[in-house]
Amino acid sequence: MTAPAEHERLLIIDFGSQVTQLIARRVRESGVYCEVIPYDKSGAHIAAHPPKAIIFSGGPESAHEEGSPRAPQAAFDLGVPILGICYGEMTICQQLGGRVESGHHREFGRAEIDIERDCPLFAGLSARETVWMSHGDKITAIPEGFEVVANSANSPFAAIANETRRIYGVQFHAEVAHTPNGATMLRNFTHGIAGFKGDWTMANFRKEMVAKIREQVGEGRVICGLSGGVDSSVAAVLIHEAIGEQLTCVFVDTGLLRLNEADQVVTLFRNHYNIPLIHVDAAKEFLGALKGVSDPETKRKTIGRVFIETFDREANKIHGASFLAQGTLYPDVIESIGGKSHVIKSHHNVGGLPERMKLKLVEPLRDLFKDEVRALGVELGLPPAFVGRHPFPGPGLGIRIPGEVTPEKVATLQKADAIYLEEIRAAGLYDQIWQAFAVLLPVRTVGVMGDGRTYDEVCALRAVTSTDGMTADFYEFPWAVLGKAATRIINEVRGINRVVYDVTSKPPGTIEWE
């Protein structure tokens, strides 16, 4: 782990909430290093890495039912500050002698809490605060030594505290944006109550990780699968800073990247950073393998298979390599240690290669969230425009061309997509959008150009806003921007005579079309 000293850790015990990662993000944003560990693995983790403070997350279970998740006794015995959120508060009550019941009025959505007494958890806040509730059970009695700090219309124990033991509980979700001052509450806990300095920065992380990479790799050689995306690029630059010429990047150009993207990647890494780079132009192989394939999942698997075969062939030419670098991020780690199934999208994280090539993994970003990776990229000197790029799928344009993928369709889509993104940037809207791209539909429509009849293809434009990609809303463009992009695409891209805009949210749709 590339964390600060053991006593500067905060541990988040996960009881299965859908928003546990948001707690970690809020804590990290205030400069405090934290880790998320499932409740059933947290006892051993506490013994091995005693934290300076603990947060219990929310969860879907009922704390009073037999067999429901419990916090390890070690968490209470350690004597460090504890904050329970929603289910976390309920399990504190249930485990320490209070009472939780079902069958009472449920509380979902915005609510107002009234703060009854001074409490460091609410320092600097108003007597009435807006919060976000999401619970079906109700606390009916709190443990001995606890006092009520705040209540709401349906939660007489909306916040409780045992100041002597420094154990606090809140019935609402402080981590979500719907609790406007939730970040302040969490900061009050981490800084005011637990005494964290808030000095965990990307500069510190960079220095610590460089030392860790050098220690792990020694005199060995590392292969990095460079996709051109933000994660693998940041990982490559960080590893190169640590071990220099011991790193070789393999960039497999699938022919399914955005317009001129392959040239940009090669220029940035080979010329600007002087990182040893093997550029494999495998467009013919990928497009050949996709000939006649139209099923979305078959396309993904085909692209993944060809990628692994190509990468394996090129990497085996690098003598003495014993490590493979991947851009694994913390959400992937949390999901895997939680025992949930995790499907890595085709070839994005070169899945399957470590076992196939008998290599040890180097994952320098495994402690970071996506926004932290971007911050690290800026810290490393990568151009802000590069690290701030929208997400791009592993299979590339192959899943933005429903139906069969052909070289002609790829060339058409690359041009349309480039125009669309160019107009978004020109309007100053790029950073307001989570992801924007064009899709070439397997539909032809009648049009009129120069007094002549056309029968060409349809281009769909997609743009969404999101915080994590799990849910998304379509972006509400100024019509002038959308209209200009559509006009340019029709005028400048031969083969397209109609442009439509996708106004589907996620759910029910997905961000990508395939």
Is 286:256 a contact under the CB 8 Å cutoff? yes
Active site positions, annotated: 86, 173, 175
Give the pair of three-digit tokens for residue 487: 């006009």
pLDDT value for 434: 92
Which residues of the chain, if any, have pLDDT below 70? 1-7, 103-107, 331-357, 450-451, 468, 470
pLDDT value for 451: 64
pLDDT value for 357: 60
- pTM beyond 0.75: the answer is no
Angle (deg, nearest 10), helices 230-243 and 202-217: 60
pLDDT value for 380: 93
Q: How far apart are CA 430 and CA 98, in angstroms?
A: 51
| Cα dihedral 223, 228, 232, 238 in deg (nearest 10) | 80
pLDDT value for 254: 93
- Comparing CA positions, the residue from 401, 473, 384, 383 lying closest to residue 433 is 473
Q: How far apart are CA 366 and CA 144, in angstroms?
A: 41
Q: How far apart are CA 399 and CA 322, in angstroms?
A: 33
Q: How far apart are CA 435 and CA 99, in angstroms?
A: 46
Cβ neighbours, 10 Å, residue 473: 13
Q: Which helix (H) or strand (E) holds 216?
A: helix 202-217
